[in-house]
């Protein structure tokens, strides 16, 4: 896989089918699917619990706005990922071009996905910092790899935004 900045977009080329599939999973991975810990992580309370009135109002007024914001980001990413669709049986490497103006949506969607996956799997800090865990021998290992892969993409996008 190669990732580079080209004019007004970020190009991820030489994407093998496995990594392409992981990218396709971003919108679905960002969905808490009713898992309470994931839902609570995406929509955390605005106070440490003492301000019950504030928390109640937050749920009514702020949470819907946040939901819309998060949904818009994942929809933008899902639309960009359409480039990876095509012949499902093809094992040829793919190229994905992310418009620079979509960088914030990608950062947000990648972050949603990482947080939801981590919450669903209840990853420990030690596991999350173990970037060299291999090989992928279980569903849990795969989820951890996914979190790290999405983190790598986030780092690259951040670096491009700064430059």
Partner 1 sequence: MSCGPWQDTGCQAQIKANEGIFPISNEKAGTMTTAEPTVEQETRSEDELDVPWQVVVHNDPVNLMSYVTMVFQRVFGYPREKAERHMLEVHQKGRSILWSGMRERAELYVQQLHGYLLLATLEKTC
Residues that bind partner 1 (CB under 8 A): 42-48, 51, 54, 57-58, 60-62, 65-66, 69, 107-108, 111-112, 114-115, 118, 123-125, 128-129, 147, 151, 154-155, 158-159, 161-162
For partner 1, the closer of residues 8 and 162 by Cβ is: 162
Taking CA atoms, 129 is separated from 23, 26, 125, 135, in Å, by: 21, 21, 6, 16
Q: Which residue in 144, 119, 125 sits closest to 133, CA to CA?
A: 144
Instruction: Closer to partner 1 by CB, 46 or 99: give it.
Output: 46
As measured in angstroms, the least distance from the Cβ of 69 to partner 1 is 5
Place of tokens 């990594």: 19
CB of 62 to partner 1, least distance (A): 5
> Rounded to the nearest 10 degrees, how much is the dihedral formed by the CA atoms of 104, 108, 109, 111?
140
Q: How far is the CB of 153 from partner 1 (least distance, A)?
A: 11
* Nearest distance in Å: CB 141, partner 1: 17
Q: Which is nearer to partner 1, 94 or 109 (CB)?
A: 109
Q: Token match 């994407």: residue?
A: 15
Q: Report the nearest approach of partner 1 to the CB of residue 98 (Å).
A: 17
Q: Where are the alpha helices (DSSP H) in the chain?
A: 17-24, 26-29, 36-42, 52-61, 63-81, 103-121, 125-128, 139-162
Q: Whose Cβ is closer to partner 1: residue 92's or residue 158's? A: 158
- Which residue do the tokens 């004019």 mark? 7
Q: Which is nearer to partner 1, 13 or 148 (CB)?
A: 148
């Amino acid at each position: 896989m190669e990732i580079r900045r080209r004019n007004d977009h970020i190009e991820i080329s030489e994407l093998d089918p496995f990594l392409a599939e992981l990218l396709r999973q971003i919108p679905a991975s960002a969905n808490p699917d009713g898992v309470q810990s994931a839902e609570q992580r995406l929509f955390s309370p605005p106070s440490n619990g003492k301000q019950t009135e504030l928390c109640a109002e937050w749920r009514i007024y702020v949470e819907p706005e946040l939901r819309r914001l998060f949904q818009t980001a994942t929809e933008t990413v899902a639309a960009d990922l359409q480039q990876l669709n095509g012949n499902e049986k093809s094992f040829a490497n793919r190229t994905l071009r992310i418009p620079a103006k979509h960088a914030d949506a990608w950062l947000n969607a990648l972050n949603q996905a990482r947080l939801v996956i981590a919450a669903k799997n209840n990853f420990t800090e030690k596991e999350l910092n173990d970037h060299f865990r291999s090989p992928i021998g279980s569903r849990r290992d795969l989820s951890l790899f996914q979190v790290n892969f999405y983190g790598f993409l986030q780092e690259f996008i951040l670096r491009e935004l700064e430059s």
